[in-house]
Amino acid sequence: MKLRYLSTPPRHPRARWPVLLVLFISLLALVSMTTRNRGAEAGASVAPTAAPSTPSIPSAWLGLSGRLRVVMGTPDALEEDPILRPLLSGPGSGQEPAGPWHTLSTPEGDSFTVVPLVPMAEAGKAGFGSYHVGSWPTGGTTSASARYTPPSGFIDVTPENEGTSVSSSFTMRDFLTHDQAAVWPKVLVLRPALLDKLELLRQELQREGLPSKLHVMSGFRTPQYNAQGVGKKGGRAEWSRHMYGDAADVFVDADQNGMMDDLNKDGKITVADALVLRAAAERVEAEYPALVGGLAAYPATSAHGPFVHVDARGVKARW
């Protein structure tokens, strides 16, 4: 009996392989194309986005020395700066500052910090916590001008931020008042003009081939701390510039032994070494009159070695 096929009769097995091969190759091509497309989509989804733009640092912020590493001001004052406004404010108008501290970078890659000060008026209402500050003197001097106006604000210093660089050579820690060591946070008043002058003093010492590492023996003094040494109690001035953040007592200490270095190379540590440092500061003032201020060389006592007082009060003072 003959069989009848209702469809195309089956081919011999050898006749099928070319068709199967073509189908297999087509399938591989389809899978490869799909994989490439998915990879391209995935790559597009993880491609790095442009970093949010940060303001370029104006040369004025770096000071005459080029070594300042902080800009400070009350929040209102900082937000008036067109460069800082986008950084300090949230999206939309009328927003409060997005955060108290912001870190930028200098053209050299150093950290540069924007520090909103705590307005003094706010501290007057809430106090300074456990940290004793006292009150700035008011009136009573013919030179009472903007130079003797109580500071508009202060830096709230904590153990976490005390190491913040304020210039290439100094940190906030260097200028803290020397009392209440265990009390935090601390109050610090510090003016960029002082930092600029100290950095320029270092540069002047370097030009002369002298060691230039400055140690700050006394920086900011709270009014209550300064009062402990006024008059016969310690020789401090009632209107000391240390209370206004633009004065520091310094000495050169390259070997870090806690004493003035032998700057005049006479084999002794005396006030003569302080006079070498003071003379360098005089040259800085002559070259940069905008940083004029007070200068004085002090001899050693039983409590400390020789040092030089440097300030940037805005008028020439010598004693």
Residue percentage of the chain with pLDDT more than 90: 66
Cα–Cα distance between 105 and 109 in angstroms, integer?
5
- The total of structural domains in the chain comes to 1
* Cβ–Cβ under 8 Å, residues 158 and 164: no
pLDDT tens digit sequence for 63-84: 999 999 999 999 999 989 888 8
Torsion of CA 34, 35, 38, 44, to 10 degrees: -130
Q: What is the pLDDT of residue 90?
A: 53
Q: Is 50 exceeded by the pLDDT of residue 252?
A: yes
pLDDT tens column, 235-248: 899 999 999 999 99
Which pair of tokens denotes residue 140? 């009573």
Q: How far, in Å, CA of 314 to CA of 316, rounded?
A: 7
- DSSP secondary-structure letter at 297? E
pTM beyond 0.75: the answer is yes
68 alpha-carbon distance from chain centroid: 8
Q: For residue 254, what are the contacts with CB-CB under 8 A and spacing of at least 6?
A: 211, 212, 213, 261
pLDDT class of 142 with cuts at 50, 70, 90: low
Domain region containing 162: 125-318
What tokens appear for 126 in the block? 């809430």
Residue 166 CA to residue 178 CA, distance in Å, equals: 19
Mean pLDDT for all residues in the chain = 83
Q: How far is CA 52 from CA 85, 148, 166, 247, 266, in A?
A: 14, 41, 25, 38, 57
The rounded distance, in Å, linking the Cα atoms of 82 and 6 is: 88
CATH number for the domain that contains residue 152: 3.30.1380
With H, G, I as helix, E, B as strand and everything else as coil, classify residue 217: strand
Q: List, for residues 164-187, the tens digit of each pLDDT value.
A: 999 999 999 999 999 999 999 999
Q: What is the pLDDT of residue 29?
A: 53
Does residue 205 contact residue 280 with C-beta atoms inside 8 Å? yes
